[in-house]
Amino acid sequence: MNEVAVVRAGALTTFQDCGRPGFAHLGVPPSGAADPPAFRLANRIVGNAADAAVLEATLIGPALRFARPALVAVTGADAGATIAGHPLERGRAAEVPAGVVLELGGCREGVRAYISVRGGFAVDATLGSRSHDLLTGLGPPPLREGDLLHVGPEPARPPQRAEIVPARGEPTLFVVPGPRDDWFPSEALAALTETTWRVAAASNRIGMRLEGPALARLDRGELLSEGLVTGAIQVTSGGLPIVLGPDHPTTGGYPVIAVVVARDLPLAGQLAPGSSLRFAEYHAAPKPGNV
Amino acid sequence: MTATVRPAGDRAVLVELPDSSAAVRLAQALTDRAEFVDVVPGHRTVLLTWAGERRPQELEALVESALGSGPPPGPVRRIEIPVVYDGPDLDEVAELVGLSPDEVVRRHVAAKYVVAFLGFAPGFAYLLGGDERLEVPRRANPRERVPAGSVAIAGPYSGVYPRDTPGGWRLLGRTSTTLFDPEQSRPALLEPGDRVRFVAL
C-alpha cells in the first residue's frame, strides 16, 4: 500500500467525499466537498469511484511525498501544483515518482483545490463518509505535518481524460427568495440583489459571511428553530447575511431571506475572502407542462 | 390544509405547521420516503430536501395525506435518562422562577417530554413538554465549554449536551448516558417523537 507523507499541511487541508446526507434530522451536517464538480472531476481523471476520498486544500495547499509511484490530479482552484518542481496542469492526471513531492502553493481563481490519487485516500468513514466536518469534528481530522496517509486499492477503471476545468463566470449567485422573506421589508430583498457584497475574512465551510449594508428586518420577535439547507442566506440580528456552507448547523433561528440555487453552490465554495459577489433572483426555466 | 409549503431554494421546501406535534408526525410519516434526502423537523416546521432538479410530484398532496394519517406504526420509544441534579445553575434557576432548588428538580423530573427535533450538535435533542413554571431565558453570556452530559433548560426546551461544546442553556444536572455514538446503527439516543423522562439519582 502506498504511503503519503505530509511534508507541509497547508492552511486547512481536509479529506472530503460526498458527505453525510440523510442524517440532518440527527443534527449531523451534510458536509462533503465545497465544490462538488471539482471533487467529482478529480476522481474521474484518475479513474476512481465517484465517491472516493480526496483532499480539499484551502487557500494554501499542502506538500505530499509519495513513497511509491502514484497517479494524481489537482482540480478546483489554481494552486500552482508542481511535481518535483515541474508544473502540473490543472485537471490533468500525472504520475508522481517514488519519493517525490507533490506541492501546492497559494490558491488563485478560487480558494479550494482538490487533490485526488488513483485508489483514493484510505481513511476511516464516520456515518458512511470520510469528510471532515468543521462544525462537529466528525470524520478524519485535518492534515498535520508529519501525518502518514494511505492510498486505497487500484480501481478497475482506467484514468479518464477530462474536459478542461470550465472558466468561472461572473460571481453572481442566483437565489430563490424565502422561506422567510416575509420577515423582511421589501427593501431588504431589493438590497440583497442590488448590493455588491464582499466576502468577509471570517468565512469557512460552515458559512460565508458577507460585508455590506445591514439588511432591515421586520419586528416579528424570535424565529423558532427550523431546518436549514446549504446555500441558505441567514440574516443575523445585526442584519448581515451568512451563506451557509456544507458544514452548516442543521437547524437555526435566524430568518433565511433567500437560498442560493444548487447549481451555484460550487461557485460560492470558491469565493475568496475579500472578493465581491452579487445575488440575482432565480427564475426557473419553463418546463414542459405536467401531465 | 393546515400546512404552508414555502420554498427553500430549488431542492427543498419548508413545510410550516400549527405545532410541534404536527411537525413530528409529518416528519415520521415522510422520513422513509425515497424521494427525500433529508426530512428535518424544526419546532413548527419540517424541511424536505431532495436530490436533482426535479421537484417531487404532488408534493402538497403528499404532505396533506401524511398529516391526515394516524401515528406511525410500531411502539413509541420511551427513554429514561438518569440525572444527578447538582448543576451549577440550579440555584439561579430556582431564584429566577421563585421556587426552591428541590422543587425545580421535582418539577423537572415530573414532566413528560417529547423529542421535538435535533440540532445544534449531533445528537442534541430539543425536548418539549417541560413544566411551564421552569421557563427561563438563556444565559446572557454563554459558557465557552459546557461538559458532555450536562442536562439543561432554556425557554420551553430541555436538552442534554452530547459532548463538550460552548452553550448558553442553564445547567441543572448531569448524566453519564451517551447521547451520540456514530459507530452505532442508531447513532442518536433521542430521535424526533421519542418520549423522555428524567430520573433523579
- The answer as to whether B95 is a domain residue is yes
Cβ-Cβ contacts under 8 Å, A22 against chain B: 37-38
**Model pLDDT for residues B24-80, shown as the tens digit of each residue:** 999 999 999 999 999 999 999 999 999 988 899 899 999 999 998 877 777 899 999
Cβ-Cβ contacts under 8 Å, A131 against chain B: none
ipTM of the predicted structure?
0.96
Whether A289 shows a pLDDT value over 60: the answer reads no
pLDDT of residue A43: 97
Confidence of residue A288 (pLDDT cuts 50, 70, 90): low
Residues A8 and A144 grouped into a single domain: yes
Q: Which of A25, A180, A233 to mutate to test the interface with B (most CBs of B within 10 A)?
A: A25
- The answer as to whether A167 is a domain residue is no
Residue at which a domain ends, from A94, A120, A151: A151
Number of domains in chain B: 2
- The answer as to whether B83 is a domain residue is yes
- The answer as to whether A164 is a domain residue is no
Contact B31 A261 (CB under 8 A): no
Residues A141 and A187 grouped into a single domain: no
Residues A147 and A179 grouped into a single domain: no
Q: Which residue of A has its CA nearest to B188?
A: A26
User: Which amino acid type is present at position A19?
Assistant: G
Q: Which of A174, A184, A250, A256 to mutate to test the interface with B (most CBs of B within 10 A)?
A: A250
- The answer as to whether B143 is a domain residue is yes
Residues A129 and A176 grouped into a single domain: no
Residues B191 and B97 grouped into a single domain: yes
Domain hosting A178: range is: 172-281
pLDDT of residue A283: 86
- The answer as to whether B31 is a domain residue is yes
Mean pLDDT of chain A: 94
Confidence of residue A168 (pLDDT cuts 50, 70, 90): low
Angstroms from A232 CA to nearest CA on chain B? 8
Whether A291 shows a pLDDT value over 50: the answer reads no
Question: Does B193 contact chain A (CB < 8 Å)?
Answer: no
Nearest one of B129, B6, B169 to A227, comparing CA atoms: B6
Residues B125 and B183 grouped into a single domain: yes
Domain hosting B48: range is: 4-68
Angstroms from B102 CA to nearest CA on chain A? 30
Q: Which residue of A has its CA nearest to B8?
A: A179
Cell 455588491 locates to A196
**Model pLDDT for residues A249-271, shown as the tens digit of each residue:** 999 999 999 999 999 999 999 99
Residues B98 and B38 grouped into a single domain: no
Give the Cα separation of A171 and A168 in Å (integer): 8
pLDDT of residue A290: 45
Angstroms from B58 CA to nearest CA on chain A? 11
Number of domains in chain A: 2
**Model pLDDT for residues A125-157, shown as the tens digit of each residue:** 999 999 999 999 999 999 999 999 999 999 999
Contact B120 A26 (CB under 8 A): no
Contact B43 A232 (CB under 8 A): no
Residues A104 and A207 grouped into a single domain: no
Angstroms from B46 CA to nearest CA on chain A? 7
**Model pLDDT for residues A77-130, shown as the tens digit of each residue:** 999 999 999 999 999 999 999 999 999 999 999 999 999 999 999 999 999 999
pLDDT of residue A162: 79
b/e map A7-22, b = 16+ CB within 10 Å:
eebbebbbbbbbbbbb
Q: Which residue of B has its CA nearest to A265?
A: B9
Residues A19 and A136 grouped into a single domain: yes
pLDDT of residue A164: 62
Residue at which a domain ends, from B48, B68, B88: B68
Average pLDDT over residues B162-175: 96
Question: Does B169 contact chain A (CB < 8 Å)?
Answer: no
Which of the two residues, A46 and A165, has the higher pLDDT score? A46
**Model pLDDT for residues A30-59, shown as the tens digit of each residue:** 999 999 999 999 999 999 999 999 999 999
Residue at which a domain ends, from B68, B91, B124: B68
- The answer as to whether B156 is a domain residue is yes
Residues B96 and B42 grouped into a single domain: no
Backbone phi and psi for residue A139, each to the nearest 5 degrees, phi listed first: 85, 175
- The answer as to whether A271 is a domain residue is yes
Which residues are paired to B46 by β-bridges? B15, B41
Backbone phi and psi for residue A109, each to the nearest 5 degrees, phi listed first: 50, 50
Residues A188 and A97 grouped into a single domain: no
- How many cross-chain Cβ pairs, A to B, lie less than 8 Å apart? 127
Residue at which a domain ends, from B68, B91, B113: B68
Angstroms from B199 CA to nearest CA on chain A? 24
**Model pLDDT for residues A184-240, shown as the tens digit of each residue:** 999 999 999 999 999 999 999 999 999 999 999 998 888 999 999 999 999 998 999
DSSP string, B100-136: -HHHHHHHHHH--EEEEEE-SSTT-EEEE---GGG-B
CATH for B49: 3.30.1360.40
